[in-house]
């Protein structure tokens, strides 16, 4: 079944590449990259936002999150960083480190890809999680006197794999593939990091209060999504009126609160 | 074994579209696609020679796959080990052409020296058609390999230092036998255990020349834990390392 669809997909894309027959039929989807024009960042275009609105809300977690996975007992002495707990929750259930974003928005305020850093320190990635616009330059530096590598996956397809054997030697990588990029180290398997490479500037990462604000949104109807590295993704429709505000509150449930098993 | 209707339909439409391809609308960065006749010829070659291991759908699950180690490549992900292109990028056609023509040493992938250049080119196009990435993503740009300096006792000694400072021993072991401290925990992108290369077997899977060894450091092997060292070591260090590894490989 699947491969037939693949072939049809290829056909469809071939049809797009040959242009005239399909002009105006479709905008080709987010992954078709340069097919939709010579824009700077994938399919996203900058347009003037008139009477832009905003989306706000809060992300929370119901139920008791599982304890963080313990580190292996046998590990080099310099690996002193504590285990990463993906569930950063306060006493009210506010969930931090959730990435909230508008799905499938292809035009709006200016996207400014900047610079970001990722360091390997005491056998841990610092920061553990960040969200950046597509086209951002990521500087990856090993601060440990042992070898690490940065092996990145978007879903289950690799994005890159760089050896970082030399302490304090930086390297730069332009993040040119959108997606929730999980980076690990093959030598110290417990080291994980998330670099969310966002195809539009309309995203926010929740802080300790679980709240988020996304501003300067062209008025219209959208799908708002929240993604969490251990809890998966949820979506909700949201309407942004001119100069208005859409409010969406997301609630994740842990397995102890009766949620389906993620992934 | 006959072609399925989707492919025939696809061929028909692509042919119809190809007739219009000379119009000056093609964008500079558009990704070239093989023509329908090439794909059809490639399909015939594939079904004759490749299908029993790599599977009807190119997912590496052909009838014989269960008996093979390493497993046949799953083409649907667009992830290929042996490339001339940087880490995480798609290979160029020539890379796959070379893999098929030369085979992979010490694996079940034979040399397909009996196939013509035309058959190989068409089956490369067909193999690529299993992954949507070849439609959406640009190919990687092949890396440059500078000329190899002569091997000397000094370059071999310097290469031994590189083997330490670049951490090769973590996986490949102090003697290059593929038995480093991290070796047992390694998995490929499909989650299957994978062995680091044992240099004492004497011959890389992907080629017997020094350039082939150099290329593996600088491109990494997509789909495996072997990373790219392109941003970590200089070409001089890499050639020194090649010379040192040759001494391990010569012990066979």
The 10s digit of each residue's pLDDT in B60-101 is: 999 999 999 999 999 999 999 999 999 999 999 999 999 999
pLDDT per residue over B17-64, tens digit each? 444 444 333 344 678 889 999 999 999 999 999 999 999 999 999 999
* Window B:102-121, CB contacts with A under 8 Å: none
Query: A23: exposed, middle or buried (C-beta count within 10 Å: 0-12, 13-18, 19+)?
Result: exposed
For residue A151, the distance in angstroms to the closest alpha carbon of chain B comes to 7
Structural Rg of chain A based on CA atoms? 20
Residues A150-176 pLDDT 10s: 999 998 899 999 999 999 999 999 999
Q: What is the pLDDT of residue A22?
A: 36
Instruction: Give the CA count within 13 Å in the CB-facing half-sphere of B80.
Output: 30
Average pLDDT, chain A: 85
Per-residue pLDDT at A261 = 55
**What pTM was estimated for this model as a whole?**
0.83
Which of A20, A153, A189 is the closest to B20 by Cβ? A20
Of the candidates A202, A201, A196, the one whose C-alpha atom is nearest the C-alpha of residue A222 is A202
Residue A79 contacts B where some CB pair is shorter than 8 Å: no
For the record, the structure tokens of B192 come out as: 């299957």
| pLDDT, position B129 | 97
How many CB atoms within 10 Å of residue A159? 24
Res A191 pLDDT > 70: yes
In the stretch 126-165 of chain A, residues with CB closer than 8 A to chain B read 146-147, 149-153, 156-165
> Tokens 């290979």 identify what position?
B91
H-only helix segments in chain A: 2-17
8 Å CB contact of A18 and B21: yes
Distance CA A61, CA B235 (A): 51
Q: What is the pLDDT of residue A39?
A: 44
> Which of B56, B135, B227 minimises the CB distance to A163?
B227
Quick check: A161 and B88 CB within 8 A?
yes
Residue A114, classed as helix, strand or coil, is coil
pLDDT at position A139:
98
B 65-104 → A contacts, CB under 8 A: 76-79, 87-88
Rounded to 5°, angle at Cα A12 from A9 and A17:
125
Q: How far is A133 from chain B (nearest CA, A)?
A: 19
Question: Chain-wide mean pLDDT for chain B?
Answer: 89
How far apart are alpha carbons B224 and B12 in whole angstroms? 38
The packing angle between helices B210-219 and B235-249, to 10°, is: 120
Contact status of B155 with chain A (Cβ, < 8 Å): no
- Structure tokens of B48? 């004759």
Do B87 and A186 make contact, defined as CB atoms within 8 angstroms? no
A189: contact with B, CB 8 A cutoff: yes
Contact residues, chain B, for A8 at CB < 8 Å: 6, 10
CB count, 10 Å around CB of A170? 13
């Amino acid at each position: 079944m699947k491969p037939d669809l693949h072939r049809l997909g290829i056909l469809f894309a071939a049809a797009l590449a040959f242009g005239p027959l399909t002009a105006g039929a479709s905008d080709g989807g987010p992954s078709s990259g340069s097919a939709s024009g010579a824009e700077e960042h994938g399919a996203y275009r900058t347009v003037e936002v008139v009477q832009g609105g905003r989306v706000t809300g809060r992300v929370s977690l119901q139920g008791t999150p599982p304890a963080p996975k313990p580190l292996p007992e046998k590990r080099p002495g310099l690996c002193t960083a504590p285990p990463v707990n993906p569930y950063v929750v306060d006493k009210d259930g506010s969930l931090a480190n959730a990435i909230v974003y508008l799905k499938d928005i292809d035009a709006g305020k200016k996207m400014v890809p900047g610079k970001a850093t990722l360091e390997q320190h005491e056998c841990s990635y610092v920061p553990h999680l960040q969200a950046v616009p597509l086209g951002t330059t990521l500087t990856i530096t090993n601060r440990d006197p042992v070898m690490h590598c940065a092996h990145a996956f978007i879903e289950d397809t690799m994005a890159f794999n760089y050896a970082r054997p030399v302490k304090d030697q930086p390297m730069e990588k332009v993040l040119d593939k959108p997606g929730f990029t999980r980076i690990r180290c093959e030598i110290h398997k417990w080291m994980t990091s998330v670099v969310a490479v966002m195809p539009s500037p309309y995203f926010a990462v929740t802080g300790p209060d679980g709240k988020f604000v996304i501003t300067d949104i062209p008025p219209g109807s959208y799908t708002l999504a929240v993604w969490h590295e251990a809890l998966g993704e949820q979506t909700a429709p949201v309407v942004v009126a001119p100069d208005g505000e859409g409010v969406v509150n997301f609630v994740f449930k842990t397995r102890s609160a009766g949620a389906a098993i993620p992934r | 074994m006959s072609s399925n209707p989707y492919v025939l339909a696809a061929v028909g439409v692509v042919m119809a579209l190809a007739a219009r391809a000379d119009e000056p609308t093609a964008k500079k960065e558009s990704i070239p696609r093989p023509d329908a006749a090439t794909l059809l010829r490639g399909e015939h070659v594939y079904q004759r020679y490749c299908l029993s291991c790599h599977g009807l759908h190119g997912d590496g699950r052909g009838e014989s796959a269960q008996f093979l180690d390493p497993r046949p490549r799953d083409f649907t992900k667009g992830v290929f080990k042996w490339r001339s292109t940087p880490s995480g990028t798609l290979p160029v056609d020539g890379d796959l052409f070379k893999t098929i023509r030369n085979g992979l040493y010490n694996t079940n992938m034979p040399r397909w020296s009996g196939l013509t250049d035309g058959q190989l080119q068409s089956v490369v196009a067909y193999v690529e058609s299993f992954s949507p990435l070849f439609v959406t993503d640009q190919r990687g740009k092949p890396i440059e390999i500078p000329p190899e300096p002569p091997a000397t006792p000094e370059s071999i000694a310097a290469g031994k230092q590189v083997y330490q400072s670049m951490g090769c021993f973590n996986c490949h072991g102090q003697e290059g036998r593929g038995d480093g401290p991290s070796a047992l925990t390694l998995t490929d992108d499909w989650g299957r255990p994978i062995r680091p290369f044992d240099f004492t077997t004497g011959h890389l899977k992907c080629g017997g020349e020094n350039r082939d060894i150099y290329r593996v450091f600088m491109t990494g092997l997509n789909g495996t834990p072997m990373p790219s060292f392109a941003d970590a070591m200089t070409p001089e260090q890499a050639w020194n390392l090649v010379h040192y590894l040759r001494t391990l490989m010569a012990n066979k």
